């Protein structure tokens, strides 16, 4: 398969584009033919080298992606060949006490596509079937690939951990970055923060964001 990978850590010049062996899905895994992948700052950290993280080389970057299920490993029951899916990059066991509570990132086996294992910057990527979700209707492949890592991070910070409530004042720093933009949109769509509509409209326009439809949040 064709892939973007590196053979040593360093700057942009270390990235190679060429042929690598295609991954084979194991038990409970699916192989996805990637239609779109998204770049995160994490990919730069991985390329330059993260202290304490030792990777077998070559390494394929890319945490975010969307595509079509190409083949399945033994025991796969949720997906079938041809399914259009979005990938959750956070791989977890799904059975430990933390996973059962929805705290996947606390799982002892937690790791990320593109950081600890080969990622989405390739023709194919392998992931557990529980990390695949149906591609939302109405979103392009690029849009579907772009939101998982940043929006999962923002949701966990804002909703799961901070438990923000409607009407609270929120300070979102570094607006313009992926996670900050995700936090802004989540806060707006769930009515967490009060802000004049004129101000919101101006901020959306300056950031290149489409208008969002507010939804009623119940607790």
Q: For the segment 36-45, what is each residue's pLDDT rounded down to a tens digit? A: 999 998 999 9
By percentage, how much of the chain surpasses pLDDT 90? Answer: 56
Q: Does domain 2-139 have CATH number 3.90.180.10?
A: yes
pTM of the full structure = 0.83
What residue ranges do the domains of the chain occupy? 2-139, 155-207
Residue 203 has pLDDT above 70, yes or no: no
CB 188 within 8 A of CB 214: yes
What DSSP element (H or E) covers 45?
helix 41-48
Residue 134, both tokens: 């149906």
What DSSP element (H or E) covers 60?
strand 59-60
């Amino acid at each position: 398969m064709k892939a973007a990978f590196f053979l040593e850590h360093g700057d942009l010049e270390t990235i190679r584009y060429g042929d690598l062996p295609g991954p084979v899905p194991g038990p409970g895994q699916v192989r996805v033919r990637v239609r779109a992948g998204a770049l995160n700052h994490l990919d730069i950290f991985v390329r330059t080298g993260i202290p304490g993280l030792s990777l077998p080389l070559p390494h394929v970057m890319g945490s975010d992606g969307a595509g079509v299920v190409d083949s399945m490993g033994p025991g796969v029951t949720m997906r079938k060949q041809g399914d259009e899916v979005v990938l959750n990059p956070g791989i977890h066991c799904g059975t430990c006490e933390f996973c059962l509570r929805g705290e996947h990132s606390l799982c002892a086996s937690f790791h990320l596509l593109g950081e600890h294992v080969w990622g989405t910057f390739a023709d194919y990527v392998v992931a557990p079937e529980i990390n695949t979700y149906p591609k939302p209707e109405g979103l392009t492949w690029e849009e579907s690939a772009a939101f998982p890592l940043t929006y999962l991070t923002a949701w966990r910070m804002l909703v799961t951990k901070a438990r923000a409530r409607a009407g609270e004042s929120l300070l979102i720093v570094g607006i313009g970055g992926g996670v900050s933009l995700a936090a802004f949109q989540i806060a707006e769509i769930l009515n967490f923060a009060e802000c004049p509509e004129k101000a919101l409209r101006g901020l959306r326009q300056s950031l290149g964001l489409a208008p969002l439809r507010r939804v009623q949040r119940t607790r």
